[in-house]
Amino acid sequence: MKIIGSFDFETTQGKTISNKICVRAYLICVYYYKIYNNTTTKKHFTIHFEDMKDFLRWVLSNDCVLYVHNLKFELSFMLPYFIKYKLKYEILENTSNVFSIKLNTSFIRDSANFFPGQTLDDIGKTFIGLGKIDNNVIVPYDYKANSKDIEYCMRDCEICIKSVLKYFSLIMEVATQIIPPENHANLHKIKNKLTNSGIAYHIFKLTNTDQYPKIDYDTQAYLRSSYFGGLVNVKKGEYCNVHSYDIVNCYPSIMLQKKFPVSAPIFSDDFRFLTTHEFWAANFEIYDIKVKSSKLPTLLKKNFMSINESITQLDYLNTTLCNIDFKMFLENYTFSKINFIDGYYFTQAKNGSAIFGDYLNPFLSYMQNLKSSILTADENEKLELSNKRNILKILVNGLYGKFATRSTTDDFSHFICKNTFVVKRKIISNTYKESLDIYYLPFAIFITAYAREKMNDAVNKVGFENVINYDTDSIKTLKQLPPDFVSKSMGSWDYEFTADNMKCVSPKFYAYKINDNYTFKIKGVPKSSINKISPQFLYTNFNNGLEFAVIFKQRVVGGTLLTNSFKKV
């Protein structure tokens, strides 16, 4: 017998013990199903604990797959016990996310990786029509759980596992319709994936069995320096009559309509390959760079946080560009001198439809059919159909990034700090893993480069001086795009709306008004915090240094202390 389910912790406020702030999980609830012979029971089971040791003992004695929404938080309460009792555990994590924990034969996974940016309340209402129970209570360190606490915590567990199971059920239903029957036996592996891009790649490999060259570590490192994300920028200020456009199915359209290299990269320090081969990535030294008037600054550099910054003027730059970015550089910039250093070129290429068509076309067709069905469906059917369509959107947009997966991972060690008794971690190694060395990086490089090219074409149609905001596949401008440049066909720029007024502060931090309807985009601030403020008041004071109610997290003895705080933006 196996178990699949979800758990959640209810935690206390801090208490000062021996001059140290301490917290604890005073309630752990588990909502689960049993699996016999690969069949999940319809009946659910529940169990709750008031002691972490009892919960971990239960996990270790069962063969479980347990999900929790925001594993990083729960892990902070479990790690002290892992270390204190010398439990054998494996954590799959990077510097910002925790993906899974292995304890004996059990696995703990983060459901938030399937529903990015969504709260439990969001996914519950979306996937199963069930929301959280209101019980926003702050409790002291020595608090004992009551029946109301258990009901509240168990509801969170129920929402999490039912939404995850519903999510996988919908994916399986859709995938069986596009994957050849002979590959259906491998579909069950989807349920072992930890991210949407992992699911997308697994389905892609079941529809495309072509083998692409394995690229050695050093060559990958070189090529990766030419891999940039989307173009993002905003001009701070207040504007009237702002026109908004976005690209219809940006990445899927590129993957189907463009051409891509498929061969092994070949190194050369002979500059002539820049003109004799269609696809390449090369390193250059460039002097006295300056963006031309009305042109988009497409040249990017990564800052110390690996965030792309657009270059408008620079005395000197050493950079690696693919052929698409190099073409835009010549179009948009002036410079005094450029030196070619070396690079890699590709000898073979294919149309994207031959590479990605068997994966994307059925999904896109299914999405279109669902869109038509939603228009005539009743309310209950609309929820189900909308869920399917949202999952399809995730899968068609989530594939390209998987090709940029690094073949190295950071390995961490966790320890209890002798001075603070708080669990800390440090990188002990950056390890090459052959199991990750299966992704063909050039796909990611050129897909994102083509997206930047689309943005460049749009900006140059209206002039950079008229563009106030652009973000990967969307643009907001004071001048309308030409009518022949706009359509609803895949890969085209589609008109969204014209805002009466728009206020911009920084990338992903803006607001606009259409008639008496307000829309706010404020990165790092939950929608629930935004919704607590009158939209009229918020819009009027949007540029004046706003404060929002947020939850502040602090690592302390025993776990993470949550306190109500304010964030000024």
The structural domains of the chain, ordered by start, are: 2-183 (3.30.420.10), 237-251+453-568 (no CATH)
Find the helix or strand (DSSP H, E) in which 329 lies. Answer: helix 323-332
pLDDT score of 37: 82
Determine the residue type at 197: S
d(C-alpha 276, C-alpha 347), whole Å: 10
Predicted pLDDT at 421: 67
In this structure, of 117-121, 125-129, 388-392, 440-444, the range with the lowest mean pLDDT score is: 388-392
Given a cut of 60, whether residue 306 has pLDDT beyond it is no
CB 502 within 8 A of CB 476: yes
Please provide the average confidence, as pLDDT, over all residues in the chain.
90
Positive or negative: CA dihedral 79, 162, 207, 383 = negative
Structure tokens at 106: 């059990």
Q: Which of 216-225, 287-296, 436-445 has the lowest mean pLDDT?
A: 436-445
Helix/strand/coil for 456: helix
Question: Residue range 154-182: average pLDDT?
Answer: 90
Can you give the pLDDT at residue 4? 96
pLDDT confidence band for 427 (50 / 70 / 90): confident
Is residue 391 very low, low, confident or very high in pLDDT (cuts 50, 70, 90)? confident
Alpha-carbon span 73 to 63, nearest angstrom:
23
Is residue 305 over pLDDT 70? no
Given the structure tokens 């270390």, which residue do they identify? 83
Higher-pLDDT residue of 190 and 67 is 67
In this prediction, residue 304 has a pLDDT band, given cuts at 50, 70 and 90, of very low
Task: Average the pLDDT over 557-565 and give the result.
Answer: 84
Does residue 544 register a pLDDT over 50? yes
| 172-212 pLDDT, tens digit each | 888 888 788 888 888 888 899 999 999 999 999 988 888 89
The Cα 333–Cα 312 span in angstroms is 8
Burial degree of 114 (CB within 10 A; 0-12, 13-18, 19+): buried
